[in-house]
Amino acid sequence: MNVDQRQSTSAAARPGSQGRLAAAQPKRILTTKQKQLISAVLAFHLLAVITGPLAAPPSSELFGQLWDKMQWYVEPMFLNHGYRFFGPDPGASHLVEYEVELADGSKLTGDFPDLGDHWPRLFYHRHFMLSERLQAFPDSRQPPDALLAIGMACGLSGEGATIDLPGDPTINALARSYARHLYHKHNAKRVKLTLVRHLIPQPDWVLEEGMKLDDPSLYVRWLLADYTPEDAEFDGARQSLAQAPSGAAGVSARARLEEVQP
Amino acid sequence: MNFVTQYFRDLYQGAIRGWDRFWFTATDPATYCLIRLLAGAMLLYTHAVWTIGLIDFFGPHSWVSREALDALASDGSGIWQMAFSYLWWISESPALLWITHGLALVVFAMLTVGWHSRVVSVLAFIIAASYCNRSPASIFGLDQINCLLAMYLMVGPSGACYSVDRWLEKRRWRKEHGLEPMPPVEASVGANVGIRLIQLHMCVIYLFAGLGKLAGTTWWNGTAIWGSVANLEYQSIDATWLAAYPLLVNVLTHVTVVWEVSYPALVWPRLTRPLVVALAVPLHLGIAVFLGMITFGTVMLFANLAFVSPWIVRAVIDRRSLHVPEVAAEQVEPQRGGKRRKGKSAGTPVAS
């Protein structure tokens, strides 16, 4: 150990010093004007830090306007987050099943995320987030009970149900993007995507009835997209699936602030 | 009336003094540099994992297309126009993408070891934010904290210690001054500002994470933790045995919310800070171990290190790796026994 390390360590060990005495005094002292300038920058930055969560939906008109004023700084600095981790309620998770018809007529099926294919766990989570982004339909904000009720109303039984997906501009755009990716990756003739909502069982179902978390009755399916090159110019981004009337409100610029789970 | 005027005068002067002390007190950069090392390693790992799906996520026909991003700005506000990413310029060329990705990994490796720290800390933030802004549908809490740490590592001398920069500095000193003692690491206002920004940002994150939960039903009726552990896609260790212990689920749920909401207040007083920071460990380790988000749980703990005093960092790291002599070790001991300085509690293992 050399001398500077010894001095530094020794000073650092002083009780209650919080480390301030561990190092040599700075040679440069800030002037009052410099401090005022830095303080103004810090205050502005801290305002930007709270702008993201304040403006995350649902938010007031005031915070909406604050967002409009701060957006030029908040977005480049990657501060546009709501930080609603597992809020307001931990909900069902979402997966996407795909069926790709290849050029030779054979079919390739798969899903994402897929623990078997996507390794390490972080890579799995990247794909999980892709499918979770589609959670906004039909209403992701409902607690597990309500989600189960939706499943039942959709005729959920046995192997689960497949129902049609009403149009949602954001969901459709993301689904189109995912389909286009698979289309090009596999040089496909047709791509079919199905959104799978995996519901969460009640504790007593697990405890008393022995229900497994992957029980087939806990999965609800929606047809998300069915693309073919004949009626969809993927690069031109024309969607083959008939655009149903929008079932969701227009997506605001703050849509990104609606966090998926972490 | 006079006492009202006096109150506001005192308030103003106290606020000014407090602000000045809070931000502009130079501090030992040990904690700041440790965070650089750990955050750099996490950034390196995060982006190394991107390598597996580089073309799928960032290439010409990526999962998230430009059109999909534009759809998020359907009100015409151009949300993505301001979220900068250099990856858009090169997404059509896989070769360029691979080259820049390789360079990005080099930058994160340099940040981790603290080589040209000042420059690479700025580059690291630009790169990390660019990856997130290019593929926002595949990011999550890990990326938010990664970028947060990278951003605040730009502020101060993150390579002042535990770094190649420091090692090179020592080598130069020995060459020029022989056996003459080298001055210790300089206390830094920049390091203090960086640490303070991380601390405040963490308070904002926990506050809104807690408040966001209070808008839900399950965090009030105490079943939210069940909703998390019974989610098969998140689950990495089966914790459905919790179904047999509903009161334990209630306790875990309520403690989580109370801890998050109270964090911004209780993390500052010296008496409560160790408890608040210590509670972060089981909470984030729980997320890491049971919910399959090892990286997210770990990086949250890295960020919580901002509340750990530099002397603790020195005592732990320097003694372990640099064989601190007995004299220093002796000086460390009394703190653990709670020796008090006048007017202050000593030995609280957290930064002010």
Pick B71's closest partner by Cβ from A30, A123, A173: A173
Q: Which of B199, B228, B229, B198 is nearest to B213 (CA)?
A: B228
Chain B from 150 to 209: CB within 8 A of any A CB: 151, 161, 170, 181-189, 193, 197, 200-201, 204-205, 208-209
Provide the residue ranges of all domains of chain A, joining segments of one domain with +.
3-74, 93-247
Distances (CA, A) of B28 to A11, A247, B33: 10, 56, 10
Contact of A176 with A239, CB cutoff 8 Å: yes
Domain membership flag for residue B34: yes
Q: State the smallest CA–CA distance between residue B167 and chain A in angstroms.
A: 11
Q: What percentage of chain A carries pLDDT values higher than 90?
A: 46
Count of A–B CB contacts within 8 Å? 364
Q: State the smallest CA–CA distance between residue A193 and chain B in angstroms.
A: 13
Strand ranges of the sheet holding A219-227, from the earlier edge strand across to the other edge: A107-112, A93-102, A188-198, A219-227, A162-164
What averages of pLDDT result for each successive group of 10 residues across chain B (352 residues)? 91 97 96 98 98 97 88 53 86 96 98 98 98 92 98 97 96 93 92 98 98 95 95 94 96 97 97 97 95 96 97 86 38 38 40 44
H helices of A136-239, where?
A: 144-153, 169-185, 203-208
Residue A168 pLDDT:
65
Structure tokens at A241: 């699936």
Q: Is the pTM of this model over 0.90?
A: no
Distances (CA, A) of B216 to A140, B206, B260: 12, 16, 15
Interface test with A, best of B85, B138, B147, B268 (most A CBs within 10 A): B138
pLDDT in tens, A129-149: 999 988 764 444 344 444 444
Q: State the smallest CA–CA distance between residue A155 and chain B in angstroms.
A: 22
CA-only gyration radius of chain A, Å? 26
Domain membership flag for residue B24: no
Interface test with B, best of A41, A77, A89, A186 (most B CBs within 10 A): A89
For residue B338, the number of C-alpha atoms closer than 13 Å in the C-beta half-sphere is 2
Pick B187's closest partner by Cβ from A23, A124, A177: A23
Residue B339 pLDDT:
41
For residue A32, the number of C-alpha atoms closer than 13 Å in the C-beta half-sphere is 2
Q: Are strands A93-102 and A162-164 parallel, antiparallel or unpaired?
A: unpaired
Pick B318's closest partner by Cβ from A5, A26, A174: A5
Separation of alpha carbons B196 and B190, rounded Å = 10
**Least trusted range by pLDDT, from A73-82, A246-255, B289-298, B330-339:** A246-255
Cα angle vertex A45, ends A41, A49, to 5°?
170
Q: Looking at the complex, does the CB of residue A30 fall below 8 Å from at least one CB of chain B?
A: yes
Domain membership flag for residue B109: yes
C-beta atoms surrounding B129 within 10 Å: 24
Residue A198 pLDDT:
94
Q: Are strands A107-112 and A162-164 parallel, antiparallel or unpaired?
A: unpaired
Residue A11: which H helix or E strand, with range? helix A3-12
Interface test with A, best of B24, B238, B253, B318 (most A CBs within 10 A): B318
Domain membership flag for residue B224: no
Can you state the percent helix, strand and coil of chain B, rounding each to 5?
70, 0, 30
- Sign (positive or negative) of CA dihedral B231, B237, B241, B245: negative
Domain membership flag for residue B54: yes
Structure tokens at A81: 């987050």
Chain A from 136 to 165: CB within 8 A of any B CB: 143-144
* Residues found in chain B: 352
Separation of alpha carbons B242 and B225, rounded Å = 9
H helices of A154-186, where?
A: 169-185
Q: Which of A193, A187, A180 is nearest to A233 (CA)?
A: A180
* Residue A178 pLDDT > 80: yes
Report the complex ipTM: 0.89
Residue B67 pLDDT:
82
Confidence of residue A167 (pLDDT cuts 50, 70, 90): low
- Rounded to the nearest integer, the mean pLDDT of chain A is 74
Q: Which residue has the tokens 């689904």?
A: A175
- Output the furthest CA–CA distance in chain A (Å, rounded): 76
Q: State how far Cα A151 lies from the chain centre.
A: 22
Residue A22 pLDDT:
57
Q: Looking at the complex, does the CB of residue A253 fall below 8 Å from at least one CB of chain B?
A: yes
Residue B280 is classified by DSSP as: H
**Domain ranges, residue B141:** 30-160
Q: Is the peptide bond before A88 cis (omega within 30 degrees of 0)?
A: yes
Separation of alpha carbons B36 and B23, rounded Å = 20
The average pLDDT across A88-93 equals 90
Amino acid at B335: Q
Chain B from 88 to 127: CB within 8 A of any A CB: none
* Residue A258 pLDDT > 80: no
Q: How many domains does chain B have?
A: 1
Residue A136 pLDDT:
60
Q: Which of A181, A217, A177 is nearest to A197 (CA)?
A: A217
CA torsion, ordered B222, B227, B230, B234, to nearest 10 deg? -130
The average pLDDT across A8-14 equals 38
